[in-house]
Amino acid sequence: MSNLIDGKAIAEEIRNEYKERVKEFAGEGRKPGLTVVLVGDDPASQTYVKFKERAATELGISSEIVRLSQNINQQELLELIDRLNLDDGVDGILVQLPLPEHINEKVIIEAIAPTKDVDGFHPINTGRLFSGQQNRTRFDACTPMGVIELLDRKGITIEGKKAVVVGRSIIVGKPVAHLLLERNATVTICHSRTANLAAETRQADILIAAVGRPNLITADMVKEGVVVIDVGTNRVNGKLTGDVAFDEVKEKAAYITPVPGGVGPMTIAMLMKNTIKAREYHGV
């Protein structure tokens, strides 16, 4: 399909570009180092971690998975993060979410050194994004970065366009809106209290769906020629589906991402990008 944005193929292209940089680091004496912390045995989390480990290995990044019991207490997890913060061989730390209910996710995220926060969730990194600071110590959230990269790689103009973001999470909705603002789009954020969602989405030149409700966006909610980026990942009858009713919306869209195979692979590619950036910051 000519209007399909193949995130899997684009992510592979990006990883191939990064391989040379990783080789350069190896020649300088130290590969980039990524440590992923997985608490418990949530099947989805285990799958995500496996994909991240595979991507890191393929690139030549030193990757370690620390698997912890579901029953680990918060203090023990904080002590592990402290050790990783002090480890010069670790450039990036990623604590796989969600965490068990007895552990405060915000406390854990804030404990990660901002320059090792390759997930881009630390308040200092989100603050740098929201205040428009462009510097080598700013790490943006991987999924929003992947969205922008997809648009760029397809040659889709962002500046001057009307972008509508459906969803206001700190992981996707808010940061992707700010990244679009940085690129001079006019941005509307919609959410569960938006009075007339369809009226807003029909104005979009670029529509980002990131709310976690299967098939929420239907063909009557978009205009002809819209660019649709579907960030949703929902299980419906055992099948992965997005927030967009793909089969009907694709007939009106100039470009559209599938689920799976759209934004997901880009998220992992951007994690690798952030890990390489962290290695550049930390030096030898």
Q: pLDDT, tens digit, for every residue of 80-120?
A: 999 999 999 999 999 999 999 999 999 999 999 999 999 99
CB environment 28-49: b (16+ within 10 A), e (fewer)? eebbbbbbbbbbbebeebeebb
Instruction: With a cut of 60, say whether residue 61 has pLDDT above it.
Output: yes
**Catalytic pick among 6, 117, 119, 205:** 119
Q: Beta partners for 68? A: 39
Q: Which amino acid is at 25?
A: F
Q: Which entry of 6, 31, 91, 96 is annotated as an active-site residue? A: 96
Give the pLDDT mean for 140-145. 97
Q: At what angle do helices 263-282 and 43-59 cross, to 10 degrees?
A: 60
> Does 277 qualify as catalytic in the annotation?
no
Euclidean distance between CA atoms 71 and 163, whole angstroms: 43
Per the CB < 8 A criterion, the answer to whether 265 and 15 are in contact is: no
C-alpha 135/C-alpha 121 separation (Å) is 16
Structure tokens at 219: 């063909």
Q: Tens of pLDDT along 217-271?
A: 999 999 999 999 999 999 898 899 999 999 999 999 999 999 999 999 999 999 9
Mean pLDDT of the chain: 95
Q: Is 233 known to sit in a ligand binding site?
A: yes
What is the pTM assigned to this prediction? 0.95
Where do the domains of the chain lie, and which CATH numbers do they carry? 29-114 (3.40.50.10860), 142-264 (3.40.50.720)
pLDDT at residue 1 in the model: 53
Cα-Cα-Cα-Cα dihedral sign, residues 48, 50, 52, 54: negative
